[in-house]
Structure 1
Amino acid sequence: MTAPPTASVSARPGARVGAPRSSGWFGGLDGLRALAVTLVVVYHLFPGALPGGFIGVDVFFAISGFLITSLLLREADRSGTIRLGRFWRRRARRLLPALGATLLICTAAALAVGRDALVGIGGQLLGAAFFVSNWVYTATGVDYFAKDAPELFRNTWSLSIEEQFYVVLPLLLLLLLRRAKRSTAVVLLFALGIASAIWMAVLALGGAPPTRVYFGSDTHVFGLLLGAALALRMYRPEQLGVVASVPDRPAQLRLLAISGGGLAVLLWLACVLREGSVESFAGGIQLATAASLAVIAAVTRPGAWLGRALDVAPLRWIGARSYGIYLWHWPVWVLGAELMGPEGRTGAGAWTLGIGVLLITIACATLSYRYLELPIRALGLRRSLGLLLRPAQGTPRRRRIASAVLVLLLLTVPAVTIAVATAPSRSSSAEAILRGQEALRKKQATPPPTAAASAKPAGGDITAVGDSVMLASSPELETRYPGISIDAEVSRGLGAGLGIVEDLAKRGQLRHVLVIGLGTNGPVLDDDLARLRTVAGTRQLVLVNAHADRDWIPGVNADLQKFAAQHRGVVVADWNAAITPRPELLAGDGIHPEPEGGARYADAVSKAVVALQQPDEAIGFGAPRR
């Protein structure tokens, strides 16, 4: 997620669509911003509709780098220098009003909603206010692609990268324009961008955490740098104020092929790219950036056909408000998801939530744009603050706006203070996991494994290996099966669990009944299941299926059921069926069980263990069922 670019050199409001413009104006980019923000919003609000819609971030990065650099180059040519203070004041005037309103209103709303919405809110507000959210979330291990326990202002991570870039870029341009040829500056910016893109791929291929790869300023700044290089390459100072000529038909066809091909690549990536995957970081995002740059280079040519098409009024309207749409949609979704609970994360509930959030987002962005952003952009921050303190000095309309803002501040600032002071330190899912961890720590030494199965297996007959869902359910499993051996950990998948099972088998500590609950954190491979069956040998095997709002869960459950159907002595514990009718028994993430949910987990395991004792399951453990 990223803040839409905010430079003032986009399409001129009110200009005749399709008319040739001087080189100080760029056609088509408001429409391109509208398409980019649509990708991001659909990706977040309507799960599965555009699985790769997160590349809208990279479209925005490319546009931002291009627009801001073009603005700075125009200023350098007209005034002979880049006035840093003026540039940064303009950025503050453009960005801070909408950001401040979003932070205050959504934090106050989160205080009313309660539960998980306020976890870590103090750090989130500081990160957003000082534009270092990306590093705050990197340090705390936040997963951009996870929706099960989302931070309220997670979307400010990319705004932080942009603002960090806006601090460095004018300084770098000042140095380059004074000490080097423009061609040298283009090469340097291009080289820095390519280095960043390669660094993202290197870290991803080396197994670095996706959070570090995606949130890093060093790994994800290449769209901004390459956009800046493109602006520097295309800039023609001698054409300032000159009405540009429209390309002839052959040139138009070339531009259409380039821009149309670039858009086709972006739409294809939005449909097929997998979130958080190595291919996303080592090729996918880089390709999206290249396609974005190709579209920008083509549609910004005066009179370009696709540029005219992107300049249609509805797209320009969305593009002008894309910053607000981007800011509001994520925290509004988080609050809505908290209110609806697990019902709002899947099926019809997810679509209902998405449509409601979209309507609220558009309303908030429209109000912010008209009554906050435009007035402050016209007056400036200092004059706007003076009007807020002395509203009688303004026009009637400005007095009404100032009064409304003052009331808003009086309501939200105390609420934000209370929210920060009372925010829980852990989410409900973290509390559920902690409860399981404490139960395992307090557990006394387990009895030695039994040599053979009894008619009704007891805890001393069972070894359980699982992920955080099993960990959260461990107190209830221990109550149901005293003496059960449980090895469960957060973020564990079947591959890691298989290594633990093999180690236990080598040490002779694997008991007669083996319970495996490792389907929550990723797909299961047929080869891993086959290895697990081999290690289990004649032991009875229970495979606990998964319940979560994650793309791979249906496939995991189908694969486990298929494997169990093909082997005697293997049964699925249907945790998914046990908890689906009672989502209120889960923590706020809709995944980890609270105590009563843990009891249902234990029930599902118990039913599977009983089923293993039936005559058709108790013989021929290693033989195929068919």
Structure 2
Amino acid sequence: MAVQSNAFSKASTPNRGRIDWLDGWRTIALLFVIVEHWYLLYHPEQSLYGKAGVFIFFSISGYIVTRLLIREKSRQGTVDFRAFYIRRAARILPPLLMYLGGCLIVLGWDNDLVAKLARAALFTCNIKLGASDCTWIVGHTWSLGFEEQFYLILPFAFASFAAKRTWLLLLPALTLALLPVLFPLHWIGMVGWVQIYMLLGGGALLAWHEERLIPFLERIPWYVALSSLALGIAMTRVPVGIAQKLTLPIVPLTILIGVFALPSASDRARRFLAWKPMATLGLYSYTLYLWQQLVLMDGMFVLWWSQTLALLAALAFSAFSFRFIETPFRDLGRRLSGPRASAQPAT
């Protein structure tokens, strides 16, 4: 695959293939979530744009993971899917299990709580399974549920498209598509489920067809890209009903265009997203996303200043976790997945 121009090459870290401005988007997405959850402490019946933040996460996640698979196939000629799952487990599980253990320590042992933590550990908080439905403390792992289920689809879909003939490899994807029929979805609903897979799949398609799509994105004026993103974010608040169904395809399309076209169209936007504080906070975003849920749980910290201090403590812990827990485990995952994985950039 040819080296891409503009934002897709200018902000890449040498020798690692990392696109720094994607970490900036992680920061913005995380801030959407934190602001909404903080707001809910004082206005529990209202919501802001936390869902939009998670949608931004989904758009870049589909792109990044597919891009890694393409880079591996380009270098090696094949993709080791066993190694793929080892790397994903090493990336996702340590921070999650650490958070679930922290919840047990802070809240104390309770059979109902343990059932909810188990649901989160099994990545099923995006569906309803009887009495053990996930509540606030692990409710935010609904997004991890969708992401991990997408990872079950992606290698098979990737192999199918790469082979151009093995359509049977798409059967696992078709089976997973029946999930909303077999189980009621969590609060995101059927419309949200379709939008999420459009975001994940759209990011994957962008990575697959980068050489054709990136030049198109680079021709979009920055103000059009920004307006597209703003429209998509605004429409995430459309209430459930006929209006939400009518706007279903608009939300993922406008968010995808905004996220990927804006840094290509505007050097200023790209530099801001790749700015070291923005990119660094993006590196810590996964752990901070997990722990902000406990910090902003109703009744955990009552006063605004104690909530602020607790969030700062969570940020400090996220930085510690990234350096001394996540990075070593990610390196271990690359070693366990074989020598070919050693050249894979961190994600």
Q: The TM-score by the shorter chain falls in which range?
A: 0.7 to 0.9
**Equivalent-residue separation in structure 2 for 1:323 and 1:353 (angstroms):** 22
**Equivalent-residue separation in structure 1 for 2:218 and 2:194 (angstroms):** 37
**Higher RCO, Cα 8 Å, sep 6+:** 2
1:86 counterpart (83, 86, 98)? 83
**Equivalent-residue separation in structure 2 for 1:101 and 1:305 (angstroms):** 37
Deviation string, structure 1 residues 332-371 (Cα, Å, up to 9, x no partner): 322xx2445xxx4xxxx4x456434422321221221122
For the pair 1:32 / 2:18, whether they are aligned, the reply is no
**Equivalent-residue separation in structure 2 for 1:21 and 1:302 (angstroms):** 22
3-state SS of the aligned residue for 1:362? helix
1:278 counterpart (220, 229, 241)? 241
3-state SS of the aligned residue for 2:78? coil
CA pair 315-132 structure 1, distance change in 2 beyond 3 A: same
Residue 128 of structure 1: aligned partner: 120
**Equivalent-residue separation in structure 1 for 2:185 and 2:258 (angstroms):** 31
Map 1:576-591 onto structure 2 (within 5 A).
Answer: none
**Equivalent-residue separation in structure 2 for 1:85 and 1:374 (angstroms):** 20
1:163 counterpart (137, 143, 148)? 148
Partner amino acid for 1:358? L
Map 1:71-470 onto structure 2 (within 5 A).
Answer: 71-111=68-108, 118=110, 120-135=112-127, 137=128, 139-140=130-131, 142=133, 150-180=135-165, 211=187, 213=189, 220-235=196-211, 254-266=220-232, 268-269=234-235, 273=237, 277-278=240-241, 281-282=244-245, 286-299=249-262, 301=264, 304-334=267-297, 337-339=298-300, 344=302, 349=303, 351-352=304-305, 354-380=307-333
**Equivalent-residue separation in structure 1 for 2:243 and 2:129 (angstroms):** 18
CA pair 20-87 structure 1, distance change in 2 beyond 3 A: closer
Shift of residue 92, structure 1, vs aligned partner = 1.1
Shift of residue 259, structure 1, vs aligned partner = 2.8
Unaligned segments of structure 2, at least 5 residues = 1-8, 337-347
Contact 1:127 1:133 in 2 (8 A): yes
Contact 1:138 1:212 in 2 (8 A): no
Shift of residue 321, structure 1, vs aligned partner = 0.9
**Equivalent-residue separation in structure 2 for 1:357 and 1:138 (angstroms):** 32
The share of aligned pairs that are identical, in percent, is 28
Contact 1:40 1:54 in 2 (8 A): yes
CA pair 141-287 structure 1, distance change in 2 beyond 3 A: farther
Shift of residue 31, structure 1, vs aligned partner = 0.9
CA pair 209-156 structure 1, distance change in 2 beyond 3 A: closer
Residue 65 of structure 1: aligned partner: 62
Residue 45 of structure 1: aligned partner: 38
Deviation string, structure 1 residues 412-434 (Cα, Å, up to 9, x no partner): xxxxxxxxxxxxxxxxxxxxxxx
Contact 1:58 1:288 in 2 (8 A): no
Unaligned segments of structure 1, at least 5 residues = 1-15, 144-149, 237-243, 384-626
**Equivalent-residue separation in structure 1 for 2:307 and 2:249 (angstroms):** 29
Contact 1:93 1:376 in 2 (8 A): yes
3-state SS of the aligned residue for 2:325? helix
Contact 1:262 1:291 in 2 (8 A): yes
Contact 1:213 1:281 in 2 (8 A): no
- When the two chains are superposed, the root-mean-square deviation of aligned CA atoms in Å is 4.0
Partner amino acid for 1:254? I
Contact 1:94 1:377 in 2 (8 A): yes
Say which one has the larger Rg. Answer: 1
Map 1:507-526 onto structure 2 (within 5 A).
Answer: none
3-state SS of the aligned residue for 1:364? helix
Contact 2:58 2:147 in 1 (8 A): yes
Residue 613 of structure 1: aligned partner: none
Deviation string, structure 1 residues 491-545 (Cα, Å, up to 9, x no partner): xxxxxxxxxxxxxxxxxxxxxxxxxxxxxxxxxxxxxxxxxxxxxxxxxxxxxxx
User: When the two structures are superposed, what TM-score results if normalisation uses the length of structure 2?
Assistant: 0.75
- Structure with bigger helix share is 2
**Equivalent-residue separation in structure 2 for 1:25 and 1:231 (angstroms):** 14
Partner amino acid for 1:57? V
Shift of residue 235, structure 1, vs aligned partner = 4.5
Contact 1:27 1:299 in 2 (8 A): no
**Equivalent-residue separation in structure 1 for 2:113 and 2:281 (angstroms):** 30
**Equivalent-residue separation in structure 2 for 1:18 and 1:74 (angstroms):** 17
Deviation string, structure 1 residues 7-37 (Cα, Å, up to 9, x no partner): xxxxxxxxx9758989944352111111111
Partner amino acid for 2:69? L
Q: Number of paired residues?
A: 313
**Equivalent-residue separation in structure 2 for 1:215 and 1:332 (angstroms):** 30
Shift of residue 232, structure 1, vs aligned partner = 1.6
Contact 1:52 1:269 in 2 (8 A): no
CA pair 280-131 structure 1, distance change in 2 beyond 3 A: farther
Shift of residue 128, structure 1, vs aligned partner = 2.1
3-state SS of the aligned residue for 2:138? coil
CA pair 82-173 structure 1, distance change in 2 beyond 3 A: same
Shift of residue 263, structure 1, vs aligned partner = 3.4
Partner amino acid for 1:287? I
Deviation string, structure 1 residues 579-619 (Cα, Å, up to 9, x no partner): xxxxxxxxxxxxxxxxxxxxxxxxxxxxxxxxxxxxxxxxx
**Equivalent-residue separation in structure 1 for 2:310 and 2:330 (angstroms):** 27
**Equivalent-residue separation in structure 2 for 1:88 and 1:212 (angstroms):** 26
**Equivalent-residue separation in structure 1 for 2:292 and 2:71 (angstroms):** 33
Contact 2:221 2:265 in 1 (8 A): no
Contact 1:28 1:299 in 2 (8 A): no
Shift of residue 172, structure 1, vs aligned partner = 1.3
3-state SS of the aligned residue for 1:227? helix
**Equivalent-residue separation in structure 1 for 2:23 and 2:273 (angstroms):** 7
